[in-house]
Chains A and B, each alone.
Chain A
Amino acid sequence: AQRVTQPEKLLSVFKGAPVELKCNYSYSGSPELFWYVQYSRQRLQLLLRHISRESIKGFTADLNKGETSFHLKKPFAQEEDSAMYYCALNTGFQKLVFGTGTRLLVSP
C-alpha cells in the first residue's frame, strides 16, 4: 500500500532547539517525496522536495530508502517556524499522498 505516516500530531519545542519532524513512507517504486507547510492564515505551500537536495528556511530533509524515511530537520527552531507540516509522496502521474500532518509549535 502507498502510505505516508507522520507519527506526531504535535511537536512542541523552544526557540533555538533542534527540530525533527518524522515522516515514513510505504511505496514499492522509486519514491519522490516532498514537505509542504501551512502557516497560520496562509495557503499550503511547498517547502522542499528530496530531489532538489536543498535547504529552505534552514530546513533539510534526507531520503533514507533503507529506513523508508524522509524526516525534516532544522538545527535551531525559530518562532516563525510554527506551522502545520505535511509530508507527501508522489505515487505517479502527479498524484500526491499526504501524511496526516504534524503541528510544530515553537515557543519563545
Chain B
Amino acid sequence: DAGVIQSPRHEVTEMGQEVTLRCKPISGHDYLFWYRQTMMRGLELLIYFNNNVPIDDSGMPEDRFSAKMPNASFSTLKIQPSEPRDSAVYFCASSLTGGGISYEQYFGPGTRLTVT
C-alpha cells in the first residue's frame, strides 16, 4: 500500500486563483482528515469526514475554504480565491475506527502551497 496519496506535492499560485488539493486515503479507512501546518500555529485540523460525510468543519478558516469527499477513495480541499496567508503545508490523513478507541492517523506527504 502506498499509504495516503496527496497531489500536487507543490503548488505555487497567484493571489485570487482557485487552488484544489487532492487526497486518496488508505483503502478501507473510514476517517479522513485535512490539516494545515504553519510555523506559527503548528498543525491545525481543518475538517474531517467519516464514511464520506463531513463531521466537523469548525477548523475551516473561512468560506473561501471548502472540502468534499465524493467517495471513499477521494477527497478535495479547495481554496477560492486564494490569499498569501493561505501559504502553508496541507496534510491529509486517514484512519480506521472501532472499539471506542482512537486508531493511528496515517498522514500523507503533504502539499506545500505558496500563494504569491
Query: Which positions in A face B, CB cutoff 8 Å?
Result: 32, 34, 43-46, 49, 51, 86, 90, 93-101
Distance in angstroms from A26 CB to nearest chain B CB is 16
CB pairs A–B below 8 angstroms (9 shown)? A43-B106, A43-B109, A44-B43, A45-B106, A45-B107, A49-B104, A93-B50, A94-B31, A98-B44
Query: Which positions in B face A, CB cutoff 8 Å?
Result: 3-4, 31, 33, 35, 41-45, 48, 50, 55-56, 91, 93, 95, 97, 101-110
Q: What is the CA–CA distance of A51 and B104 in the complex, to the nearest angstrom?
A: 12
Residue of B nearest to A4 (CB): B42
Decide: A94 and B95 in contact? CB cutoff 8 A.
yes
Distance in angstroms from B13 CB to nearest chain A CB is 24
Decide: A43 and B3 in contact? CB cutoff 8 A.
yes
Decide: B105 and A100 in contact? CB cutoff 8 A.
no
Q: What is the CA–CA distance of A49 and B45 in the complex, to the nearest angstrom?
A: 19
Decide: B102 and A43 in contact? CB cutoff 8 A.
no
Distance in angstroms from B14 CB to nearest chain A CB is 28
Q: What is the CA–CA distance of A100 and B4 in the complex, to the nearest angstrom?
A: 23
Q: What is the CA–CA distance of A95 and B93 in the complex, to the nearest angstrom?
A: 12
Q: What is the CA–CA distance of A96 and B106 in the complex, to the nearest angstrom?
A: 13
Decide: A101 and B43 in contact? CB cutoff 8 A.
yes
Residue of B nearest to A42 (CB): B109
- Report chain A residues within 8 Å CB of B44: 98
Distance in angstroms from A70 CB to nearest chain B CB is 14
Q: What is the CA–CA distance of A95 and B48 in the complex, to the nearest angstrom?
A: 8
| 4 closest residue pairs by CB, A with B | A100-B42, A98-B43, A44-B107, A46-B104
Q: What is the CA–CA distance of A99 and B50 in the complex, to the nearest angstrom?
A: 23
